[in-house]
């Protein structure tokens, strides 16, 4: 168990993929968990049921990260529902890939709203209510280190902004004993990036381990960063990428 018991976590985009695995892992380690979702309420409620089966409390909050009101509201709902918030995992994210001339201005606005603005607003809200020992972890991408091929301009640009957020926020919140870190996964088998999808072969070949990672392997790193043993890790970027950037 990596999470000190009776902690409260909010995982954005916790209904599927890496977020669902993280929500469940943090619950298994002893946290009560709020998770947000945008569309798939049934999937979100299924994660809630699994968490409750672990003996922890859980709540699913509909909160589209594209809406600037929604994510800060979810932070406050979490603190109201469970009495506090110790862990924020900024996981919700979208990948809009393609040659630069196919990416519209609307694509740019939406990707930046979900992948960047919502993370900033969640951090601002969480920083206002977190106590000593708090943990903020965001999901970037290994593509910030190694593009691997064309098509990633908008997605990698948006995720790279989280490097610019992580270091100064770690400096701001360090005096209060709150850590801020960025996890950068390589290819991970989810609905967003299926291991049998049309772009899978090249991604697999670009890793040293010649395989996709699992959502659980990313969740394990996030769980470690939330724990007492990771108290001296802050302001850093940690890859879990099968050697994609090597
Ligand atoms: P999935 O698409 O499999 O799952 C995304 C989750 O986020 C779902 O729970 C979805 O809920 C939710 N979500 C999507 N859009 C929004 C939104 N606008 N507001 C709130 N929730 C939303 O993604 P992954 O699990 O693969 O990815 C999770 C994170 O990890 C993302 O930030 C992604 O960029 C990053 N990442 C993923 C990699 C991969 O290879 N899979 C590699 C590197 C980084 P709903 O169904 O309700 O919309």
- Helix, strand, or coil here: 148? coil
CA angle 230, 163, 170 (to 5 degrees): 45
- Helix, strand, or coil here: 138? strand
Per the model's pLDDT, the better-predicted residue between 160 and 4 turns out to be 160
Query: Residues 196, 127: contact at Cβ < 8 Å?
Result: no
- Helix runs in 91-152, H state only: 105-112, 118-129
- Residue whose CA is closest, atom 41 of ligand 1? 188
pLDDT in tens, 2-35: 666 689 999 999 999 999 999 999 999 999 999 9
Highest CATH level, class, for 7-240: alpha beta
Which value does ipTM take for this structure?
A: 0.99
pLDDT of the residue at 2: 67
Question: Which residues are designated catalytic?
Answer: 155
| Segment holding 246, helix H or strand E | none
Q: How far, in Å, are 89, 176, 221, 239 from residue 171 at the CA level?
A: 18, 10, 22, 21
Average pLDDT over residues 57-74: 98
Residue 188 Cα: closest atom of ligand 1? 40
Dist. CA 83 → ligand 1 center (Å): 27
pLDDT of the residue at 4: 62
Dist. CA 29 → ligand 1 center (Å): 22
Sign, CA dihedral 111-240-130-178, equals negative
pLDDT, the chain, mean: 96
User: Is the minimum distance from the CB of 60 to ligand 1 under 6 angstroms?
Assistant: no
pLDDT surpassing 90 at residue 104: yes
Domain ranges of the chain: 7-240
pLDDT in tens, 171-209: 999 999 999 999 999 999 999 999 999 989 999 999 999
Report the predicted TM-score, pTM, of the whole model to 2 decimal places.
0.98
φ, ψ (nearest 5 deg) of residue 21: -65, -40
């Amino acid at each position: 168990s990596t999470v000190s018991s009776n902690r409260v976590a909010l995982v954005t985009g916790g209904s599927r993929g890496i977020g669902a695995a993280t929500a469940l892992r943090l619950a298994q380690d002893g946290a009560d968990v709020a998770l947000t979702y945008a569309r798939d309420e049934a999937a979100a409620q299924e994660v809630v049921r699994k968490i409750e089966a672990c003996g922890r409390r859980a709540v699913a909050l509909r909160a589209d990260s594209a809406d600037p009101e929604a994510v800060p509201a979810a932070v406050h709902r979490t603190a109201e529902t469970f009495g506090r918030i110790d862990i924020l995992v900024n996981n919700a994210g979208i990948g809009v890939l393609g040659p630069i001339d196919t990416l519209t201005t609307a694509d740019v606005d939406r990707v930046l709203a979900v992948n960047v603005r919502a993370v900033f607003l969640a951090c601002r809200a969480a920083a206002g209510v977190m106590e000593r020992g708090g943990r903020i972890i965001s999901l970037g991408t290994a593509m910030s280190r190694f593009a691997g091929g064309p098509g990633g301009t908008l997605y990698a640009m948006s995720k790279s902004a989280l490097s610019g957020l992580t270091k100064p926020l770690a400096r701001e919140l360090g005096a209060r004993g709150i850590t801020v870190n960025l996890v950068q996964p390589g290819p991970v088998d989810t609905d967003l990036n299926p291991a049998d999808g049309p772009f899978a072969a090249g991604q697999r070949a670009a890793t040293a381990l010649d395989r996709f990672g699992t959502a659980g392997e990313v969740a394990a790193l996030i769980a470690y960063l939330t724990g007492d043993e990771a108290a001296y890790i802050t302001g850093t970027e940690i890859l879990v990428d099968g050697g994609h950037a090597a």
